[in-house]
Structure 1
């Protein structure tokens, strides 16, 4: 009889803190509040003193922690911090044991001094993110391609449109790609809310519904009405009402960076006598020519140095932000297109001011509204906590997942990068995720969209190649890591597309064309998330990341979820059971059960797959639940 594999060293033997409610007494403090922070230190570390370093007003300061609880495996230490500044950076200094000196920050334990960039953060800004958003599942809809109601047949087509039947292939030729119109509308979305409800969706996110001269509508010609091709203002109200009746929220999509060249403001600014109009200064001009987004002439760039422009957008009762969050539209928040470029041009950078003003306006006029900014690369410097509630997490989640799960025979290009993304092992993937997420506050992380694709990117089913079980691994990470997971319409039925525009295919409502195995996977994963408070709101404790396996815990004081994601068969991951108190009384939330031995838990895989095992912990620790909300 062969002996059982020996336990391997895991991150469970390292001190841990993650900024979640398990370790922080108040996730939404006000300036001047005192907040307790906990750190969990395994006894084998032999730590005999813990200090917490902050830097109020730029000068470092240390608070001594006290041991408040000891279990059979861990010592829990607590310190009290005062939120003296709007953002309080903190890290733990651990003394004693073999190392005698170690720092713990958002990327883990370091036996040397490290910069402050990855410190944990307490954010004491006004107007916190809405409570409803944390843990929600977001479903992205491109209105022209999701569903077409019978009403669409009665609407005249605009002169720019190239009409297409619902089953026609997407034409990606340069002259047609933005003008091919399938005629999907908002009443079509209403007619298919049953599908979203059965999937377990909490939030419907619509790409732009303003009128434009393209199928994508990022070239808005007005912010004062809903495109008649989509059914007009009344159709949006029908959709938000129907969604709210089912307990769903609805987000709109607004471009703060530019308008279309047919926008009423730009028509005034560029027309006869335009130089003397107030609207002229709403845009950026150089040498008599207007500046456009990335040189695209139909997308003139807005000038956010002009305070009247910002007043009309953010403050006016009839402005885009307030109007559509009120009874006129019934929206529950905004996703902001090209958020990273807004207010930036040459020597000008008022991006932070614009984000903060929009957040402030939402807090005053629609305090339960969510604000998420689009950002493709390093978003961390744009997330001080008083602007966007969160971002589309391309850099800290989507791209790392691609580097782990992409087809090794393919050549995937990530949103215009000049070379394909590499194929990496799990260790590098998790290191990338930790690097990005360590540089923002926990509240910003959990109000960001994690995604494995979007209407701008390769479809996940195409990304992974021939083995559709790799979609399961992608979904496993998407629906179990801290975030608001976002899927794009059709991902759940295996829709394909080699790049963004090609992926914007019409949703096939003939269910015989659906991949029902993938659909069952998505439904099962979302169901597991909805049933588990740990998956929706728990902290994150990495256990193992190497080669073809990623293992982590989501933890609250009342529940632990063990998540094991495999991209291929791998050698067993064997975890000491003493770190997983209460696991023997758990149950499978998704996938096969782990092998529970007397002293170890063994996680193995024969191919791509996911398992989620949940239980009530028996290892003690303080229970922090207080938070400020609406």
Structure 2
């Protein structure tokens, strides 16, 4: 179970109002109590921006977050608790203030070849893969910046670039990192909107990440690499398994939220069947939202029952799920991006000790959306997350099982079977506000016992499963 942390927003250990690495270390016991065994730190490298996705020094830590010694203390403390630490690695582009790019402005400098420059026949009005302008003027030159002009793209056809990025990866593994979340993984070669479904571009991307993966495995055989590949179909994610250990499942994230919101499984069953044949068992990376998307509770218009059902579906699917910080409290957040990354709510009083003050709160959450308010409340959303993560620990098949999806008559039931790890279970969620029944006949007849249930009155009666509103069960 992974947990995404924006360090700036997490916890302030030195009183300057900015979350820092020391703050992450001080809250590891909270994460352990939640059941987390891995954390993803959003960019911690030197950068001119608040978010860090434009790096100026890949080997330096943002001084607002601390020092390399602070990082070592964090890694040691996390490992002592059985928690892995992966870093956001942003290599598709650098900052336009990176020394490499500053040197590259001179066509005679060797670093000029580290970036992509427009030739005489380049279509300077081309649209980038992210929808903005692809080319950006610099005097009489134009350079490629798939995201913005402040983020010039590195040229991975230049051997020195590949060597430099391999060296960066090896460096952080040597410092104790357990792997990397690879930002914009598909955009290393996917630069223009016109290339979206170009198989040659896909091959180039996969070849680079295969090379990087081999280099990292040589440095650390247990390294974990997960890529951000924003695609709409599971079959489009399938080629990335091999070059990477996992890929974020964007199609599933959208569908889980939609199914919870609509109180109907909808297209979920068909999507899960595609996932079952496209993604290796136990290697999917499901999630509900991240730092680029409106928070789940906002997508669900503040409906607490829908939030619980979205969490229940997420945490009973196989693979390595990711939680975005504060999701377990029901934190809200809508665009623009800074409002999706507001300070973690530790205290009922938003001015409490250690609270990050990097920006003011805009979501309108009350005192009940805080760790202090929910920590000891058995009926809180935080307690529900702990329960679900506990289910995953209790039944390894929920993490590693092979997925199959039976056809069930009720559109309000989200149902799947997981087999393997010496077990076979049927997961059933009643997404609706009305009781539902499921006849356990045919291929489902061998499921005769409620192993785990979210409510006491979920039961099997004369071969029929009876589920109260918004109830979840695991049957054996």
TM tier relative to shorter chain: 0.7 to 0.9
Separation of aligned partners in 1, 2:211 and 2:456: 48
Contact 1:143-1:209 at 8 Å conserved across structures: yes
Contact 2:276-2:403 at 8 Å conserved across structures: no
Instruction: Decide which of 205, 213, 217 is 1:363's aligned counterpart.
Output: 217
Structure 1 pair 487–202 and aligned structure 2 pair: CA distance change class (3 A)? same
> In the alignment, does 2:311 pair up with 1:489?
no
Separation of aligned partners in 2, 1:278 and 1:448: 41
> In the alignment, does 2:31 pair up with 1:200?
no
> In the alignment, does 2:227 pair up with 1:373?
yes
Instruction: Decide which of 64, 77, 87 is 1:229's aligned counterpart.
Output: 64
**How much does 1:564 deviate?**
1.5
Instruction: Decide which of 434, 437, 440 is 1:575's aligned counterpart.
Output: 440
Contact 1:292-1:301 at 8 Å conserved across structures: yes
Show the counterpart of 1:508. Answer: 345
Residues 210-609 of structure 1 mapped to structure 2, 5 A cutoff: 210-270=45-105, 274-287=106-119, 288-294=141-147, 296-314=148-166, 319-326=167-174, 328=175, 330-345=176-191, 349=201, 350-378=204-232, 380-381=235-236, 383-384=238-239, 385-395=241-251, 397-406=252-261, 425-442=264-281, 446-499=282-335, 500-511=337-348, 513=368, 514=370, 516=374, 517-544=380-407, 546-556=410-420, 558-568=422-432, 569-576=434-441, 579-581=444-446, 583-584=448-449, 587-588=451-452, 590-592=454-456, 594-598=458-462, 600-606=463-469, 608-609=470-471
TM-score, normalised on structure 2? 0.82
Separation of aligned partners in 1, 2:144 and 2:77: 41
Structure with higher RCO (Cα < 8 A, 6+ apart): 1
Secondary structure of 2:464's aligned partner? strand
Secondary structure of 1:223's aligned partner? strand
Separation of aligned partners in 1, 2:270 and 2:218: 39
Q: Deviations over 1:356-403 (max 9, x none)?
A: 1111112211110111100121464464333111111112x1011122
CA RMSD, 1 decimal: 2.2
Name the larger-Rg structure: 1
Separation of aligned partners in 2, 1:477 and 1:571: 17
Contact 1:389-1:448 at 8 Å conserved across structures: no
Contact 2:265-2:431 at 8 Å conserved across structures: no
**Higher helix proportion (structure 1 or 2):** 2
Q: Deviations over 1:487-522 (max 9, x none)?
A: 011111111112343221101211554263111110
Contact 1:472-1:609 at 8 Å conserved across structures: no
Unaligned runs of 5+ in 2: 120-140, 349-366, 375-379
Separation of aligned partners in 2, 1:593 and 1:204: 36
Secondary structure of 1:476's aligned partner? helix
**How much does 1:238 deviate?**
1.0
Contact 1:140-1:207 at 8 Å conserved across structures: yes
> In the alignment, does 2:1 pair up with 1:147?
no
Structure 1 pair 351–435 and aligned structure 2 pair: CA distance change class (3 A)? same
Residues 25-104 of structure 1 mapped to structure 2, 5 A cutoff: none
Contact 1:544-1:552 at 8 Å conserved across structures: no
The runs of 4+ residues in structure 1 deviating greater than 6 Å are: none
**How much does 1:561 deviate?**
2.9
Number of equivalenced pairs:
416
Contact 2:40-2:85 at 8 Å conserved across structures: yes
Separation of aligned partners in 2, 1:439 and 1:485: 17
**Higher strand proportion (structure 1 or 2):** 1
Separation of aligned partners in 2, 1:578 and 1:359: 41
Contact 1:577-1:601 at 8 Å conserved across structures: no
Contact 1:148-1:188 at 8 Å conserved across structures: yes
Secondary structure of 2:428's aligned partner? strand
